[in-house]
Amino acid sequence: MKTLISGGTVVNSEGEYQADVLVDGARIVSVGLDLPRDGAEPVDASGAYVIPGGIDVHTHFQMPFGGTVSCETFETGTKAAAVGGTTMVVDFALQAPGDSLMKTYSDWRTMADGHVVVDYGLHLAVTDLSDATLAEIPLLVDEGVASLKLFMAYKGSIMVDDATLLRTLRKGKECGALVCVHAENGDVIDVLVNEHLAAGKTAPKYHLTTRPLEAEAEATRRAIMLAEIADAPIYIVHVSCTRALDEIRSAKDRGQSVYGETCTQYLALSTDAFDVPGFESAKFICSPPLRDKSNWPGLWAGIRTGDLSTVASDHAAFNFAGQKEMGLVEGFHKVPNGCPGVEHRLLILHTRGVVGGEIDMPKLVDVCSAAPARLFGLYPQKGVIAPGSDADLVVFDPSVDAVISAATQTQNVDYTPYEGMRVKGAVRKALSKGEVVVSDGSWVGKAGAGRYVKGTPFVA
Ligand code: URP
Ligand code: ZN
Ligand code: ZN
């Protein structure tokens, strides 16, 4: 089947221009002015942008974490992503202690295959390294898992030590797997948490004071230094503050292959969310924690300069009822960490970034689609509007006024941290490999239509 998207402004990371986009089957076949309809199904993009579908490289669907499992499934999560203009996710397969990496990979494939509604890829989060698991890394790369993740936080559960970091960085370099790091000093956080609890400080707001930005900056610096020793590239996930960003910038200035990711919540939410009495603010507990809004200008500047390459959602959804409430009795440390946001990433980036005058549309496409595709071995199959690329396309109307609310969201979670936020823009149409899956903001696709996409090995 052919589809002709006409009358819109095509935006790639390199620039924007008026053009039509002709799709045949799952691929884009031509991009140009006044393309003939030639029997193709028409999609009207007048007054709208036509952008490559968003790629969210940081989601946690069905993730066992903190004594529970994140409530967004691969089906509901990819549906919410598509409704918000994101047509591919790269999720984290999380190694359980004692499991092999290949078992972890295959478990996550089983959870996702046949359920995802748009394409997906996987990173492998290594939590229990041995000689045997290290030897599996090349096998993973053969399977298209071209990125690994290590946690420097969450002591006593998934945190790894510096030896694990160094060994994984070396192996990753050897076989083309980009190592992604959650950079917070877990030992320091553990001391601070215990001190707070001993002093009876158990309210959600104490999540903030037990995870100071120095603990993030220190771990960021340490991770970068270990990558330098290993002569390996490194990708720092969810950079929340300018002190951590400074470490990335300095390393880049020294010529090191370092990449930074920030997330929607660090650009749009702040510690102000905790200025409410009671337990309600547990909804905003994520790690690293929300920071003072004085960090916002520096993070936007980092996006403009390229010191931050990507913006992801770190979608880790836990219902307030029954899941976030796990911290009601003993305190903030029992609240599962994470916030939902896969559906709202593009909308908030457009509102706060483009309408807010921080970035232009090509930059939005770069950080939300093109750079994620390049870094995780998906480009040019994904992340660009060009002949031969997958027809993962979004017709985005920038003129619509909307308000984010749990009552109207597609995400399968009982709240949104962005409740009541006024946003500008709406997804008029989203196509996944040539099929219209979203029309006027509603899901119209087929369950299980998404596929696993292999990432190609990382070349620094
Ligand atoms: O709070 C967060 N970010 N939860 C998800 C797991 C992680 O650290 O990325
Ligand atoms: Zn993390
Ligand atoms: Zn995460």
**Burial status of residue 241 (CB atoms within 10 A of its CB: 0-12, 13-18, 19 or more):** buried
* Of 194, 224, 223, 226, residue with least CA distance to 210: 194
CA atoms within 13 A on the CB side of 157: 13
Q: What is the pLDDT of residues 383-439, one digit of tens each?
A: 999 999 999 999 999 999 999 999 999 999 999 999 999 999 999 999 999 999 999
What is the number of structural domains in the chain? Answer: 1
Beta 20-24 vs 27-32: how paired, if at all? antiparallel
Assess whether the C-beta atom of 313 lies below 6 angstroms from ligand 1: no
User: What Å distances lie between residue 253 and 247, 258, 307, CA to CA?
Assistant: 10, 10, 10
Q: What is the pLDDT of residues 71-107, one digit of tens each?
A: 999 999 999 999 999 999 999 999 999 999 999 999 9
Task: For residues 388 and 52, give the distance between their C-alpha atoms in angstroms, rounded to a whole number.
Answer: 13
Q: Tell me what the mean pLDDT of segment 324-348 comes to.
A: 98
Q: What is the pLDDT of residues 265-317, one digit of tens each?
A: 999 999 999 999 999 999 999 999 999 999 999 999 999 999 999 999 999 99
Identify whether 288 is part of a domain.
yes
Identify whether 16 is part of a domain.
no
Q: What is the pLDDT of residues 158-178, one digit of tens each?
A: 999 999 999 999 999 999 999
Q: Pocket of ligand 1, candidates 287, 290, 339, 342: which has the most ligand atoms within 8 Å of its Cβ, to mutate?
A: 287
Q: Pocket of ligand 1, candidates 123, 314, 315: which has the most ligand atoms within 8 Å of its Cβ, to mutate?
A: 314
Structure tokens given for 51: 């952008």
- Whether residue 195 has pLDDT greater than 80: yes
Contacts of 56 (CB under 8 A, 6+ apart): 81, 86, 88, 89, 90, 312, 313, 315, 342, 345, 368, 372
Identify whether 130 is part of a domain.
yes
The per-residue pLDDT for 460 is 75
* CATH label of the domain that carries residue 336: 3.20.20.140
Angle between helices 162-175 and 213-230 (to 10 degrees): 50
Identify whether 108 is part of a domain.
yes
Q: Which H, E and C letters describe 66-82, residue by residue?
A: CCEECCCCHHHHHHHHH
Q: Any long-range contacts for 229-233 (C-beta under 8 Å, 24+ apart)?
A: 229/166, 230/166, 230/169, 230/170, 230/173, 231/173, 232/169, 232/170, 232/172, 232/173, 232/179, 232/257, 232/460, 233/173, 233/178, 233/179, 233/257, 233/258, 233/259, 233/458, 233/460
Nearest listed ligand to the Cα of residue 318:
1
208 band by pLDDT with thresholds 50, 70 and 90: very high
Q: What is the pLDDT of residues 103-142, one digit of tens each?
A: 999 999 999 999 999 999 999 999 999 999 999 999 999 9
Q: What is the pLDDT of residues 19-40, one digit of tens each?
A: 999 999 999 999 999 999 989 9
Q: How far is the CA of 353 from the centre of ligand 2 (A)?
A: 23
The per-residue pLDDT for 163 is 98
* Of 159, 164, 300, residue with least CA distance to 239: 300
The per-residue pLDDT for 36 is 95
Give the position of tokens 């002015």: 33
| Amino acid at residue number 276 | V
Q: How far is the CA of 337 from the centre of ligand 1 (A)?
A: 6
* Of 415, 445, 459, residue with least CA distance to 81: 445
User: What Å distances lie between residue 384 and 121, 162, 259, 369, CA to CA?
Assistant: 17, 37, 20, 8
Backbone angles phi, psi at 178, to 5 degrees: -75, 125
Task: For residues 286 and 313, give the distance between their C-alpha atoms in angstroms, rounded to a whole number.
Answer: 12
Which atom of ligand 1 lies nearest, measured to the CA of 337?
1
CA atoms within 13 A on the CB side of 431: 31
Identify whether 70 is part of a domain.
yes
447 band by pLDDT with thresholds 50, 70 and 90: confident
The whole domain housing 140 covers 53-375
Assess whether the C-beta atom of 316 lies below 6 angstroms from ligand 1: yes
Which atom of ligand 1 lies nearest, measured to the CA of 316?
5
Q: What is the pLDDT of residues 229-249, one digit of tens each?
A: 999 999 999 999 999 999 999
Identify whether 204 is part of a domain.
yes
On whether the pTM is more than 0.95, the answer is yes
At CA 56, angle to CA 365 and CA 421, rounded to 5?
Answer: 80
Q: What is the pLDDT of residues 39-78, one digit of tens each?
A: 999 999 999 999 999 999 999 999 999 999 999 999 999 9
Identify whether 22 is part of a domain.
no
Beta 15-18 vs 9-12: how paired, if at all? antiparallel
Identify whether 303 is part of a domain.
yes
360 band by pLDDT with thresholds 50, 70 and 90: very high
Task: For residues 369 and 409, give the distance between their C-alpha atoms in angstroms, rounded to a whole number.
Answer: 22
Assess whether the C-beta atom of 314 lies below 6 angstroms from ligand 1: yes
Question: Do residues 338 and 77 touch, judged by C-beta distance below 8 A?
Answer: no
